[in-house]
């Protein structure tokens, strides 16, 4: 399945985007929201596999500052995830003609999906699938991000990332400096958003995630009023869709099948 380039302008700035499978007028869509250092290309074969498994169309886009999208000024504001959810995501759905969708977010992208569903009443969004979501800041996560900073400065990590990002320094420092700012834990407290989500939630969490413990899932369970499915994966780290692709794909497929059978006419 060959992806279609559906890149577009938003306020005169270029957004890199690609589509797999049928368009939004034919079937529901899975909208993929990448991690803090991700982009369209770094989803690898996940969009194709999701399209084939679910029969849905799959849209992936690179947020400003990532991949082939136009860059952003750094430092980013500490509430950059809230701003992405509240100021950009809905307009991406508009630009791509999305009619019925599940937001499938990884890491930062999962937090953005959760913020959007918890702060915007958008009837196009039928559910959210959260892969290794962040709902608060843990010391272990900050320590891992500090180690990543050291690697960026002393190893070939920057060269590797530059293959995927037009402005690699904006991509890296926009993420890294925000997370390491002492004020960031106050900016990323998502309990209020969780409590206001009114669509079903799927959480996929690796038990060996160096960026987050099972406490994130516990908080979502405690605060959510919506139906919640959870898949925990022993021995799996921060990227369950890449480290345990079959189990993650099965969970997303079953979640999408239930939601769209519920909402679609016979």
What whole-number distance in Å separates Cα of residue 189 and Cα of residue 6?
Answer: 34
Using one digit for the tens of pLDDT, what is the confidence trace for 91-123? Answer: 999 999 999 999 999 999 999 999 999 999 999
Using one digit for the tens of pLDDT, what is the confidence trace for 46-77? Answer: 999 999 999 999 999 999 999 999 999 999 99
If we measure between CA atoms, which residue out of 119, 108, 114 comes closest to residue 86?
119
Global pTM value: 0.97
Beta bridge partners of 237: none
Using one digit for the tens of pLDDT, what is the confidence trace for 187-228? Answer: 999 999 999 999 999 999 999 999 999 999 999 999 999 999
Residue 85 pLDDT: 98
Whole-number Cα distances in Å, 199 to 50, 196, 224, 243, 259? 21, 9, 10, 27, 10
Q: How confident is the model over 136-163, as a mean pLDDT? A: 97
- Give the domains, in start order, of the chain with CATH numbers: 4-263 (3.40.50.1820)
Using one digit for the tens of pLDDT, what is the confidence trace for 7-52? Answer: 999 999 999 999 999 999 999 999 999 999 999 999 999 999 999 9
Residue 4 pLDDT: 97
Dihedral of CA 19/2/4/83: which sign? positive
Give the pLDDT band (50/70/90) at residue 266: very low
């Amino acid at each position: 399945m060959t992806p279609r380039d559906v890149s577009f302008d938003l306020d005169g700035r270029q957004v890199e985007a690609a589509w797999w499978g049928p368009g939004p007028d034919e079937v529901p869509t899975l909208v993929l929201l990448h991690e803090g250092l991700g982009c369209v290309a770094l989803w690898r074969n996940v969009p194709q596999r999701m399209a084939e498994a679910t029969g849905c169309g799959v849209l992936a886009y690179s947020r400003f500052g990532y991949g082939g999208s136009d860059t952003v000024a750094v430092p980013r504001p500490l509430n950059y995830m809230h701003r992405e959810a509240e100021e950009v995501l809905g307009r991406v759905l508009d630009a791509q003609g999305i009619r019925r969708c599940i937001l499938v977010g990884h890491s930062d992208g999962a937090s953005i999906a959760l913020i959007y569903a918890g702060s915007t009443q958008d009837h196009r969004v039928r559910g959210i699938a959260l892969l290794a979501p962040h709902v608060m800041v843990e010391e272990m996560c900050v320590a891992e991000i500090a180690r990543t900073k050291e690697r960026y400065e002393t190893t070939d990590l920057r060269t590797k990332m530059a293959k995927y990002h037009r402005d690699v320094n904006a991509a890296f420092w926009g993420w890294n400096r925000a997370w390491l700012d002492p004020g960031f834990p106050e900016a990323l407290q998502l309990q209020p958003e969780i409590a206001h989500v009114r669509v079903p939630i799927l959480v996929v969490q690796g038990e060996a995630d160096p960026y987050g413990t099972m406490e994130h899932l516990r908080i979502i369970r405690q605060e959510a009023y919506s139906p919640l499915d959870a898949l925990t994966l022993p021995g799996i780290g921060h990227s369950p869709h890449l480290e345990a692709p079959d189990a993650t794909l099965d969970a997303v497929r079953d979640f999408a099948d239930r939601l769209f059978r519920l909402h679609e006419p016979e």
